[in-house]
Amino acid sequence: MSFEHLRLAEPITRALKLKGYEQPTDVQKICIPEIFAGKDINAHAQTGTGKTAAFALPLIQKFNKYPPIAPKKVHALILVPTRELAVQVEQNIKFYSQFLSIKSAVIFGGQRVNAQSKQIAKGVHILVATIGRLLDMQKKGLIELDQVDHVVLDESDRMLEMGFQHDLEKLLKLIPAKRQTMMFSATNNPKVKELSYKWLKSAINVNSKEQNKVATNVEQYLHPVDADRKQDLLVKLIKDNDWSQLLIFVKSRAYADELSDYLYDREHGLGLRAASIHSDKTQSKRNDLLKKFKAGTIRILVATDVAARGLDIAELPAVINFDLPHIKEDYIHRIGRTGRADNKGVAISLVCSGEIDTLHRIEAMLELPIRRVPVPEFRPKVILGLSSIRNRKQLDFDKPLR
Ligand code: AMP
């Protein structure tokens, strides 16, 4: 099936060709016709499936036929959990709509309200926003929501995990009831289900069987290792594999800085182009780092979970979980940074004995044991043990790395 079969207009398919998309992904094939038909959508689509284009393309096409917009008014609201994702989604929208006169803007906390309100002063078709900043600007009278007729809750599971349910309820009350609402989430949990009944009207369920699962083109395994030897093992992996780029997840901001300093340091460390990204850095610094990472100027990015979601880095070959995430769903979001679309990726976790419970929770969620690959000179003093889940056939304890 081609994008033309989905009845997308020529200026949009032209932009998609420029972006290198040859055919729609599964979630796009299902969602695009339903969104054109005006249906509410409840989609469980894992990261990397092309869900952004699945909602953005039909919206762009619809709005192309809209009359001119009035000052401060908005037609579609796309709510996202993080600033990084907001910027990225809006960049995609700008790219897809480059041959049309669609107006889009992005607002998020951490930057001056004034500059952001200027973008909306004349009105926009599509506004990508984080919820706090949106409510703030609405309260100040800088945005008017009475013409909103489309709402997308992107990564709604993540927004709920972050405690935004109350704010989302508040926002939905400010928007006309006659609207099309679309919820996208990577994981399917009971809260998402409950709120989808409340917020959506006879919604189409786009239920990927792969929910709560990682993309199949990501090869996952773990190296059992003692906590105090993780850094040495990481250095070995970096030296042995020579990945063109690498994203490393750690649990604390302080360690993100310490590790990236070590990787960067020419004298005492590895002398690599490394940097850290976490919530202690200012928004403009974070944007700048992401830009450099995407451009390849930064080779290794050490991140806390703030960066886990929504980073759209093409062809990232590897992700390393230096520490396992506290929230099990973050495992999926983290490793969704690699193996996106048709690219192969590898996700390696360094797991110490203190993380066994977390590991078991992650494996239970995945319904799959993660392959243990011992590295001979790093065998831990404390043995990690078997996976708690039943399907043990797939375990591969005896196959050393080399
Ligand atoms: P998303 O799930 O929206 O974060 O998209 C994941 C990645 O897939 C992004 O890098 C998109 O640019 C890319 N992508 C989206 N749709 C397609 C498509 N139809 N063909 C190839 N790549 C795509």
Q: What pLDDT, in 10s, does the model give residues 101-150?
A: 999 999 999 888 998 999 999 999 999 999 999 999 999 999 999 999 99
- pLDDT at residue 392, rounded to an integer: 40
pLDDT grade for 317, boundaries at 50, 70 and 90 = confident
**For 313-322, 349-358, 392-401, which range has the lowest pLDDT when averaged over its residues?**
392-401
Q: How far is the CA of 41 from the centre of ligand 1 (A)?
A: 19
Phi and psi for 80 in degrees, rounded to 5? -130, 155
Report the nearest atom of ligand 1 relative to the CA of 20. Answer: 21
Nearest Cα neighbor of 57 from 14, 17, 28, 90 is 28
Q: How far is the CA of 28 from the centre of ligand 1 (A)?
A: 10
Q: Is the pLDDT of residue 89 over 90?
A: yes
Q: For a pLDDT cut of 70, what percent of the chain falls above it?
A: 89
- pLDDT at residue 336, rounded to an integer: 74
Q: How far apart are CA 362 and CA 91, in angstroms?
A: 32
pLDDT grade for 195, boundaries at 50, 70 and 90 = very high
Q: Give me the residue spans of the domains in the chain.
A: 4-207, 218-378
Q: Is the pLDDT of residue 76 over 80?
A: yes
Report the nearest atom of ligand 1 relative to the CA of 49. Answer: 2
Residue of 210, 312, 313, 343 to test ligand 1 pocket, by largest number of atoms within 8 Å of CB? 312
Report the nearest atom of ligand 1 relative to the CA of 23. Answer: 19
- The mean pLDDT value for 338-344 works out to 66
Give the binding-site residues of ligand 1, using a 6 Å CB cut-off.
21, 24-25, 28, 47-53, 312, 314, 340-341
More confident residue, 380 or 312: 380
Report the nearest atom of ligand 1 relative to the CA of 312. Answer: 10
CATH topology identical between 4-207 and 218-378: yes
Q: How far is the CA of 48 from the centre of ligand 1 (A)?
A: 6
* Fold observed for domain 4-207: Rossmann fold (3.40.50)
- pLDDT at residue 391, rounded to an integer: 42
Report the nearest atom of ligand 1 relative to the CA of 19. Answer: 12
Nearest protein Cα to ligand 1, atom 15 = 50
Q: Is the pLDDT of residue 394 over 50?
A: no
Q: How far apart are CA 250 and CA 322, in angstroms?
A: 5
Listed in sequence order, the DSSP H helices in 205-252 are: 230-241
Q: How far is the CA of 50 from the centre of ligand 1 (A)?
A: 4
- CA distance readout (Å), 381 to 235, 309, 377: 20, 34, 11
Q: Is the pLDDT of residue 389 over 70?
A: no
* Fold observed for domain 218-378: Rossmann fold (3.40.50)
Q: How far is the CA of 235 from the centre of ligand 1 (A)?
A: 31
Nearest Cα neighbor of 336 from 165, 160, 210, 243 is 210
Q: What is the pLDDT of residues 277-296, one digit of tens each?
A: 988 888 788 888 988 998 88
Q: How far is the CA of 33 from the centre of ligand 1 (A)?
A: 18
Q: How far apart are CA 77 and CA 318, in angstroms?
A: 33
- pLDDT at residue 345, rounded to an integer: 84
Q: How far is the CA of 326 from the centre of ligand 1 (A)?
A: 28
What are the percentages of helix, strand and coil residues in the chain, rounded to 5?
40, 15, 40
